[in-house]
Structure 1
Amino acid sequence: MTEHGSEPPLARTGTDEPAGGRRPGMLMGRPFGIPVYVSPSWLIIAAIITVLYQPVVDRTLALGPVSYLVAFVFAVLLYVSVLIHELAHSVVARMYRLPVRRIVLYMLGGVSEIEREAPTPGREFWIAFSGPLLSLALAGLGFLSYTLVDPYTIAGVLIWQLWVANLLVGVFNLLPGLPLDGGRLIRAAVWWLTRRPTAGTVVAAWGGRLLAVVVVSLPFLWAWSLQTSPSVFAVLWAVLLAAFIWMGAGSALRGARMRERLPRLRADQLARRVVTVPADTSVAEARRRMGAAGAEAILAVDTAGTPTSIVNEAAASAVPEARRPWVPVSSVARAISPGAVITAGLAGEQLLDAMRRAPAAEYLLLAEDGQVYGVLRTADVNAALARV
């Protein structure tokens, strides 16, 4: 199973790793400059595929224990097919100047983490369709190659595995529901017809939920048609896939509703009023001035009055009260990097894009005339997003 999606509209604290510093798996490489990670959960599904497919290989080739190796190659080829599929999404997204954070391969397939939504339904269509299109094209080439080799050889089995793997990846992802590519094609079509991206997401997400219900019922319908009991493995696998599809569809619905209300998120409305003090001012005096001015943040400036750093409130509060008259604010402040200076008038996606480009705990907000407007804290933005 593969999917592609945009980052949730939350302020990020890093670039190549998720918040908390943990990577999603082992970094395997950077094709086209895109980090590709393999989750440890892939080993579980690789082992399951190997055990289930080994008897088929052994019946065909009679290789004995070597048939396990050939079956394992099938698991590898399946996920190579998933990677190629995801690279198609990512490369097309980059052609449209949409940033791609990374590709992650995991137990249920893969995901391309595209940081922004496509700006038009046409681009959404091509980003979504590029993956299945390439997978089906590779399946066709593999099938033609398969007709030219002896099917009862290792080469014949491997080529069969290759074209079947790409066929599975291509066809499955065209199923009509989010978070699969077929759902994104529906979203693009409804978006184009209604001129409302949210309407497209709602229709495609409910299509995904309906698809989840169908998936979980398939083992029971198949067993009923054969007048037998459903396989426990088939039921568990169907429940796992259905849960993934249902949760992905629900996440898409929540993201769409949030993006629709995102313009309400404004930097100037979240700004904290500041008081400016020289960098050598004591923590005690700076906090006294902040209280007297009714401010919520302290900005350290140089001798020319230029802001140089923002006092970290947690670090300032941690200074023992007896030492505060002797500790300068410069020792509990973070330097202001060029990327941490943003315009107070930014709102919605523009604000989040500015924060993603230069992740920081706090930002200096400037008014249109270049004067200090206030301080914006990432924690305040995340809290506001949770309320949106």
Structure 2
Amino acid sequence: MTSPRPTPTRTRGWVLGRVAGAPVILAPSWLLAAVVLTLIFAPSVRARSDVGPFVYVVALGFVVLLFASVLVHELAHGLVARARGQQPHEFVLTLWGGHTSFGGAAPTPATSALVAAVGPLANLVLAAGFLAAAQAVDEQSVAGLLLYSGAISNGFVAVFNLIPGLPLDGGRVLEALVWAVTKNRSTGTVAAGWTGRAVAVLLFAWALVWPLAQGVQPNLVSVVWTSFIAAFLWAGATASVRHGRTQRAVSALTVEAVASPAVGVPYTDSVAHAGATAAAVGAHEVVLLSPEGRPAAYVDRTAAAAVPAEVAGTTPLTTVAITLPVGAVVDGRLTGSGLIAALSDATRLSPIVVAMTDGRVVGLIRATDVVAAIRA
């Protein structure tokens, strides 16, 4: 699977090496998966091949082979992504198989679809290779058992990942297709996320509801295992839907939507004169400008309102102002992700920043208002 969002910190686990400039990480949860899968596959090994006390060794060999195939799948994602200008952040093997994270989202639908599709394609190539090699050995031997298992597992990984629903690779391809048609990435993400939810429900129904409808007692192991997979798919699909909606809100974001109208006045102004200036232009906020024209502070409206009217004309505006650090300014013409990036930089200096257009103060933006707008 691929993850288009940047991962700020490295996943916990053991670093096995580096490929394409990114670490290959074995997460601790992989050990749990290895133990569980070894116990599950051991009876099949015992039934198909006489390996005596080495049954668990052979079963573990199959598990290692399976996860090596998953690693090839993830490396294929990363290598093709890097060739398309998208730097991989890390390759991780986990309880659920693996995932590849990138330092940013794919720039085009074509890149997103290609990076997603190449993983399952690599597994199909491996499946064909294992199947061809298996023809040359005794299928009852340990080598034959492992080779046939490798062919089947790679075929399964490829087909399963091509299911058109996020967070699977097929879902990423569907997302890219909808994105290309609608010219809107977030629409594709939401659509593929809902499809992923439907896949999770159908998978659970196949394991539990379908056998009951046929009058057959469901297999407990199959129901439990399928439920875990369905829950994982549902969680990933739900996160994708939320991410798509957030991206849609971000893309529609403007300064006018999040800023309180403001006006800039000289720092030498009085409380009364600044209030009259703001009222004349319909502004709710007042920003004090330094002699160079830089936003230096903003008026605390509660403090300004507490100044008695009879002394407001002689009270310096600086007495009711809160200082702004240099750089707490954004371009009032920015929109969408560009605005969010600028606000991210500016709010590191102050939770309240000034929006300016062509050197003129147009608004005062509070970080809490931006968060509320995106959530809404």
Fold equivalence (TM over 0.5): yes
Q: For structure 1, which segment, 147-156 or 120-129, has the greater mean C-alpha deviation from structure 2 after superposition?
A: 147-156
Q: Contact between 2:20 and 2:82, CA under 8 Å: does it hold in 1?
A: no
Q: Are residue 217 (structure 1) and residue 217 (structure 2) matched?
A: no
Matches within 5 A, 1:343-382: 348-350=336-338, 361-362=348-349
Residue equivalent to 1:32: 20
Q: For the aligned residues, what is the CA RMSD? A: 3.9
Alignment correspondent of 1:166: 154
Q: Provide the C-alpha distance between the structure 2 equivalents of 1:296 and 1:166, rounded to a whole number of angstroms.
A: 62
1:222 CA displacement: 5.8
| Aligned counterpart for 2:2 among listed residues 1, 4, 19 | 4
Distance between the aligned counterparts of 1:274 and 1:88, measured in 2?
Answer: 55
Q: Is the 8 A contact 1:270 1:380 kept in 2?
A: no
Distance verdict in 2 for CA 1:219–1:97, change over 3 Å: same
Q: 1:355 to 1:140 in 2, by over 3 A?
A: farther
Tell me which residue corresponds to 1:285: none
Structure 1 counterpart of 2:322, from 289, 295, 307: 295
CA-CA distance at 1:42 after TM superposition = 1.4
Distance 1:26 1:222 in 2: 41
| Per-residue deviation, residues 53-112 of structure 1 (Å, max 9, x unmatched) | 112222333222212111011111111111111111122222222232222221111111
Task: Measure, in 1, the Cα distance between the counterparts of 2:14 and 2:347.
Answer: 26
For the 8 Å contact 1:24–1:104, the answer to whether it is kept is: no
Shift of 1:25: 2.4
What letter matches 2:206 in structure 1? Answer: L
Show structure 2 runs of 5+ residues with no match: 261-286, 291-315
CA–CA distance in structure 1, aligned partners of residues 335 and 133 of structure 2: 54
Unaligned stretches of 5+ in structure 1? 18-22, 277-288, 300-306, 311-340
Q: Distance in 1 between matches of 2:134 and 2:9?
A: 40
Pairing 1:230-245 to 2, within 5 Å after superposition:
230-245=218-233
Whether 1:75 and 2:63 are equivalent positions in the alignment is yes
SS for the counterpart of 1:29 is strand
Greater relative contact order (Cα 8 A, min sep 6): structure 1 or 2?
Answer: 1
Alignment partner, residue 116 of structure 1? 104
Query: How high is the TM-score relative to the length of structure 2?
Result: 0.71
Q: 1:314-329 residue pairs with structure 2 within 5 A?
A: none
Q: Which letter maps to 2:27?
A: S
CA shift, 1:155, in A, is 2.2
Provide, for residues 332-356 of structure 1, a one-character-per-residue CA deviation record: whole Å limited to 9, x for no partner.
Answer: xxxxxxxxx9978665434666899
C-alpha distance 349-226 of structure 1, shift in aligned 2 (>3 A): same
Which one has the largest radius of gyration? Answer: 2
How has the CA–CA distance of structure 1 residues 362 and 29 changed in structure 2, closer, same or farther, with 3 Å as cutoff?
farther
1:198 aligns with 2:186: yes
Q: Which moved more, 1:216-225 or 1:82-91?
A: 216-225
Q: State the shift of 1:27 in Å.
A: 2.3
Higher mean displacement: 80-89 or 90-99:
90-99
With over 3 angstroms needed to count, the CA separation of the structure-2 counterparts of 1:344 and 1:215, relative to structure 1, is same
- Tell me the number of residue pairs that the alignment of Structure 1 and Structure 2 aligns: 324
The 1:161–1:290 alpha-carbon spacing in structure 2 relative to 1, beyond 3 Å, is: farther
Between the aligned partners of 1:204 and 1:266, the Cα distance in structure 2 is: 27
Whether contact under 8 Å (1:275, 1:298) holds in the other structure is no
Higher mean alpha-carbon deviation, 191-200 vs 142-151, is at 191-200
Alpha carbons of structure 1 residues 36 and 297: separation in structure 2 relative to 1, 3 Å: farther
* Alignment-mate amino acid for residue 226 of structure 2: A
Distance 1:135 1:221 in 2: 31
Partners of 2:27 and 2:335 in 1: CA distance: 35
1:177 is matched by which residue type in structure 2?
A: G
- 1:303 corresponds to: none
Is contact 2:89-2:102 (8 Å) kept? Answer: yes
1:58 is the counterpart of 2:22: no
What is the match of residue 270 of structure 2? none
Equivalent AA in structure 2 for residue 218 of structure 1: W
Cα offset, 1:162, TM superposition:
2.2
The alignment partner of 1:111 has SS state of: strand
The answer to whether the 8 Å contact 1:265/1:384 transfers is no
Residue identity opposite 1:294 in structure 2: A
Preserved contact between residue 57 and residue 71 of structure 1 (Cα < 8 Å): yes
2:249 aligned to 256, 261, 275, which one?
261
Percent identity over the alignment?
34
Which amino acid is 1:39 matched to? A
Range that drifts further, 68-77 or 23-32: 23-32
CA contact (8 A) 2:259 2:363 kept: no
Provide the C-alpha distance between the structure 1 equivalents of 2:81 and 2:106, rounded to a whole number of angstroms. Answer: 8
Residues 250 and 340, structure 2, Cα contact 8 Å, conserved in 1: no
**Structure 1 Cα separation of the partners of residues 339 and 83 of structure 2:** 23
Alpha-carbon offset, residue 265 of structure 1: 5.1
2:137 to 136, 149, 163: 149
Taking structure 1 as reference, are residues 84 and 275 closer, same or farther at Cα in structure 2, changes over 3 Å only? farther
Question: Is 1:42 aligned to residue 40 of structure 2?
Answer: no
